[in-house]
Structure 1
Amino acid sequence: MIFDDVLQALEHKRSPVILTERRDHALLLAERLSRFARNVIVLTGGVGAKQRRGATQRLGDIPATDERVLIATGRYIGEGFDDARLDTLFLAMPISWKGTLAQYVGRLHRSYDAKREVIVYDYVDEAVPVLKRMSEKRGRGYKSVGYSIDCGPASSCHPTMLPIL
């Protein structure tokens, strides 16, 4: 599901970031996406400073017209990360705290000339009660920072904010 949604976002010329909390999950997603997408960049902890600088440099070197996918851990992309091109967030991990949610969606709100809207893909396993409750908390968090929520299939909702400029 996440994989197909990311490819569709790329077809629509979006600049996505996939957030996860697990390094192995990020690497698995990157391996699978790299067969179908150009410029897949992974930013996670557990690597040396030289590797991190190299990945950040590669990200910055990609021309604005080229597709790219950023896959990162939430801790890595938390405070201090800035990439104004990002306009689509794939939340591939459950969170419930409003402050964390605001921090992650805030990464999408940097001013960028080509950006007209931001979209968040939020995946929910409603069969697991704790994950459903976390989703309900995120729903309130999205609304508190100005998002509207459009639920497609029962397992994914797309909080959007229009306009961003």
Structure 2
Amino acid sequence: MVSGEDSESRRHIKLKQIEGGHFQVILSTGQFFGEGLDIHAINCLILAFPFSFEGKLIQYIGRLRGHNNHKVIIDYRDSQIPFLERQFKQRQRVYKKLLKMGK
């Protein structure tokens, strides 16, 4: 587990372990996952928080660089809460656009 409460040196050690593939699951905040994290073995992304910014979504998708071509995105949708449904629909438009572009 990497925490903001870790010392800089301890965080560096933990991140090196993660970057080396010594993990099964990474649970992360969007800020931590989106900024400067370089892990080559990630092949599944679960989005379970609301956001709609296209650039952020593209950045998160770009983190999927596992060793095979099989990439999975699981995007949580709550159609019973209008705000969350709107956020999902905005992300869905980005997915469709990326699929048309062949990405």
TM-score normalized by the length of structure 1: 0.54
The gaps in structure 2 that reach 5 residues or longer are none
Aligned with residue 91 of structure 2, among 138, 145, 151: 138
What does residue range 39-58 of structure 1 map to in structure 2 within 5 Å?
42-58=1-17
Q: Does 1:125 align with 2:78?
A: yes
Alignment partners' CA distance in 2, 1:136 and 1:79: 24
Q: Which residue of 2 aligns with 1:4?
A: none
Task: Give 2:12's aligned amino acid.
Answer: R
- Percent of aligned positions with the same letter in both sequences? 31
State the Cα distance separating 1:74 from its structure 2 match. Answer: 1.1
Secondary structure (helix, strand or coil) at the match of 1:120 reads strand
What is the CA distance between 1:146 and its match in structure 2?
Answer: 2.3
Deviation at 1:79, TM superposition (A): 2.8
CA RMSD of aligned residues (A): 2.3
> Alpha-carbon deviations, 1:113-157, whole Å to 9, x = none?
x3121110011111100100100000001122228xxxxxxxxxx
Gaps (5+ residues) in structure 1?
1-41, 148-160
Q: Which amino acid aligns with 1:58?
A: Q
1:75-154 matches, within 5 Å, as 75-108=31-64, 110=65, 112=66, 114-146=67-99
- Three-state SS of the structure 2 residue aligned to 1:121 is strand
Q: State the shift of 1:46 in Å.
A: 4.6
In the alignment, the residues of structure 1 paired with residue 82 and residue 70 of structure 2 have an alpha-carbon distance, to the nearest angstrom, of 32
Higher helix share: 2
Q: Among residues 74, 78, 85, which one is paired with 2:30 in the alignment?
A: 74
